[in-house]
């Protein structure tokens, strides 16, 4: 497990870059705007999703293209709870995962988890 902690935000566990969707945590039901700021070049990307049942899951097609190994500072326009704590921002890093035979793992369902 790896944690990227240089943004002043809550560190999260690395996630697989080749995902089908990502669950970001607990949000009030309704529209959520997420902002992703690259820690490498400060470029900004956004995504819009709809929280339902108290959580927000966004499919790969509706998220920005992430770069392998780059961490992103992520903020939301609505209150976000992760691991029972309200978050101002979190750091998320996506990496290529490989199986035991060295093939890249694809099609995963990722969940943002606080790094311990």
10-50 pLDDT per residue, tens: 999 999 999 999 999 999 999 999 999 999 999 999 999 99
Report the first-to-last Cα separation within the chain, whole angstroms.
9
Show the domains of the chain with their CATH numbers: 10-108 (2.60.40)
Please answer whether residues 33 and 77 qualify as being in contact, where contact means their C-beta atoms are separated by less than 8 angstroms: yes
pLDDT in tens, 49-65: 999 999 999 999 999 99
Where does the pLDDT of residue 66 fall: very low under 50, low under 70, confident under 90, or very high at 90 and above? very high
Q: Give pTM, 2 decimals.
A: 0.91
């Amino acid at each position: 497990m790896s944690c990227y902690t240089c943004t002043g935000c809550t560190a999260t566990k690395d996630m697989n870059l080749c995902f089908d969707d990502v669950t970001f945590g607990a949000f009030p039901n309704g529209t959520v705007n997420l902002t992703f700021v690259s820690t490498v070049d400060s470029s900004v990307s956004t995504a819009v999703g709809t929280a339902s049942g108290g959580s927000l899951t966004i499919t790969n097609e509706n998220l920005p293209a992430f770069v392998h190994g780059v961490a992103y500072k992520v903020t939301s326009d609505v209150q976000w709870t992760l691991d029972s704590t309200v978050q101002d921002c979190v750091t998320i890093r996506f990496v290529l995962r490989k199986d035991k035979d060295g093939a890249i793992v694809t099609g995963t369902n990722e969940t943002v988890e606080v790094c311990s």
